[in-house]
Amino acid sequence: MTAQNELAVIRGHQELYERTWHLFQAAKTEISCAANDLYTWVHLRADTADRPPVPQDTPPGFMIRKLYRPGVLLDPVGTRHVRLAFQHGAQVRITPDEINETIIIDRRVVIMAGGVAHGPRSFSVVWAPDVVTAVASLFDAAWRAATELDVYDRELTELRVLAPRILELLGSGCKDETAARTLSLSVRTYRRRVAELMSALGATSRFQAGVRARELGLV
Amino acid sequence: MTAQNELAVIRGHQELYERTWHLFQAAKTEISCAANDLYTWVHLRADTADRPPVPQDTPPGFMIRKLYRPGVLLDPVGTRHVRLAFQHGAQVRITPDEINETIIIDRRVVIMAGGVAHGPRSFSVVWAPDVVTAVASLFDAAWRAATELDVYDRELTELRVLAPRILELLGSGCKDETAARTLSLSVRTYRRRVAELMSALGATSRFQAGVRARELGLV
DNA sequence: CCCGCCGTGGCAGCAAGTTGCCAACCTTTG
DNA sequence: CAAAGGTTGGCAACTTGCTGCCACGGCGGG
CA distance to partner chain B, nearest, from residue A147 (Å): 23
pLDDT class of B70 with cuts at 50, 70, 90: confident
Domain boundary among A113, A133, A149: A149
My answer on whether A128 and A182 are in the same domain is no
User: Which pLDDT score, from 0 to 100, does residue A81 have?
Assistant: 86
**Phi-psi category of A184—alpha, beta or left, where left has phi over 0 and alpha has psi -120 to 50?**
left
* A63-68 vs A30-35, strand pairing mode: parallel
The protein residues having a beta carbon less than 7 Å from any atom of strand C are: A 184-189, 192, 205; B 175-177, 187-188, 191-192, 194-195, 198, 205-206
Pick the residue with more confidence: B169 or B35? B169
Mean pLDDT to the nearest integer, B62-87: 85
**Are A102 and A209 in a shared domain?**
no
The verdict on residue B1 lying in a domain is: no
pTM of the model: 0.77
List, for residues A46-75, the tens digit of each pLDDT value. 444 444 444 556 667 889 999 988 888 888
Residues on chain A touching B76 (C-beta within 8 angstroms): 118
State how far the Cα of B129 lies from the Cα of B135, in Å rounded to an integer.
Answer: 10
Exposed e or buried b for every residue in B16-52, given b needs 16+ CB within 10 A?
A: bbeebeebeeebeebbbbbbbbbbbbbbbeeeebeeb
Q: Which residue has the higher pLDDT, B207 or B59?
A: B207
Do residue B197 and residue B127 come from a single domain?
Answer: no
Domain termination site, one of B149, B176, B191: B149
| Domain-ending residue, one of A93, A128, A149 | A149
- Domain boundaries, position B179: 156-215
Whose CA is closest to B63, among B25, B22, B41, B91?
B91
The CATH number for B37's domain is: 3.30.870.10
One domain, residues A31 and A94? yes
Q: Average pLDDT, stretch B51-64?
A: 65
The CA R_g of chain A, rounded to the nearest whole Å, is 19
Residues of B in contact with A204 (CB under 8 A): 173-174
The answer for residues whose C-beta is within 8 angstroms of residue A26's C-beta and 6 or more apart is none
CA distances from B200 to A40, A169, B9, B69, B91 (A): 29, 20, 32, 8, 20
* Residues of chain A neighbouring B211 (CB-CB closer than 8 A): 171, 210-211, 213-214, 219
Return all residues near A148 (Cβ < 8 A) that are at least 6 apart.
Answer: A92, A93, A94
Q: Judge if B11 and B103 occupy the same domain.
A: yes
Please report the pLDDT score of residue B54 as a whole number: 47
CATH number for the domain harbouring residue B169: 1.10.10.10
**Torsion sign across C-alpha atoms A94, A97, A101, A102:** negative
Same domain, A173 and A138: no
Stated in angstroms, how far is B20 CA from D20 C1'?
58
Decide if A68 is inside a domain: yes
End-to-end CA distance of chain A: 45
Model pLDDT, residue B211: 93
Pairing of strands B122-126, B147-148: unpaired
AA letter at B69 = R
With respect to residue A12, please indicate whether it lies within any of the assigned structural domains.
yes
Which residues in chain A belong to E strands, given as ranges? 7-11, 30-35, 63-68, 91-94, 102-105, 109-113, 122-126, 147-148
Sites in chain A below the pLDDT cut of 50: 1, 43, 45-54
Phi (first) and psi of residue B127, to 5 degrees: -105, -15
pLDDT at residue number A52: 44
Domain count, chain B: 2
pLDDT band of residue B116 (cuts 50, 70, 90) is: low
Closest-approach residue (CA) in chain A for B37: A118
Q: Are residues B180 and B73 in the same domain?
A: no
B85-89 long-range CB contacts below 8 Å, 24 or more apart? Answer: B85/B55, B86/B149, B88/B55, B88/B56, B88/B57, B88/B58, B89/B57, B89/B58, B89/B64
Q: Are A160 and A187 in a shared domain?
A: yes
Cβ atoms of B35 and B66 closer than 8 Å: yes
Residues forming a β-bridge with B93: B67, B148
Does any domain span residue A36? yes
Lowest mean pLDDT among A19-23, B48-52, B83-87: B48-52
The conformation of residue B37, written as its DSSP 8-state character, comes to S
Q: Give yes or no for CB of A201 within 7 Å of strand D.
A: no
CB pairs < 8 Å spanning A and B: 98
Kindly identify which residue of chain A lies nearest to residue B72, measuring between CA atoms: A118
* CB-CB under 8 Å, A215 with B211: no
Q: What is the pLDDT of residue B36?
A: 79
Residue B140 lies in a domain: yes
Of residues A11, A204, A219, nearest to B211 (C-beta): A219
Helix (H) or strand (E) holding B192: helix B187-201
Tell me how close the Cα of B133 comes to any Cα of chain A, in angstroms: 28
**Residue A173: what pLDDT?**
92
Nearest to A125 by CA among A12, A2, A5, A13: A5
User: Which among B118, B204, B214 has CB closest to A173?
Assistant: B204
Q: Could you report how far apart the first and last alpha carbons of chain B are, in Å?
A: 45
Query: Amino acid identity, residue B93?
Result: R
Is A94 a domain residue?
yes
**Which range among A9-13, B1-5, B211-215 has the greatest average pLDDT?**
B211-215
Residues of B in contact with A205 (CB under 8 A): 170, 173-175, 206
Checking if the pLDDT of B46 tops 60, the result is no
In this predicted structure, what is the pLDDT of residue A121? Answer: 79
B2: in domain: no
DSSP B80-129: HHHHHHHHTT-EEEE--S----EEEETTTEEEEE---SSSS-EEEEE--H
- Same domain for B96 and B41, yes or no, is yes
What pLDDT does residue A47 have?
44
Same domain, A117 and A188: no
The answer as to whether A2 is a domain residue is no
Angstrom distance (rounded) from CA A213 to CA A194:
12
With CA atoms as reference, report the closest residue to B109 among B130, B91, B138: B130
- Distance (Å, whole) CA B94 – CA B73: 9
Share of residues in chain B with pLDDT > 90 (%): 30
Considering the domain architecture, whether residues B113 and B52 belong to the same structural domain is answered as yes
Query: CB distance B206–A206 less than 8 Å?
Result: yes
pLDDT of residue B47: 45
Residue A153's pLDDT is 76
- Burial of residue A106 (CB within 10 Å: 0-12, 13-18, 19+) is middle
A124 and A160 within one domain: no
Asked if pLDDT for residue B19 goes beyond 80, the answer is yes
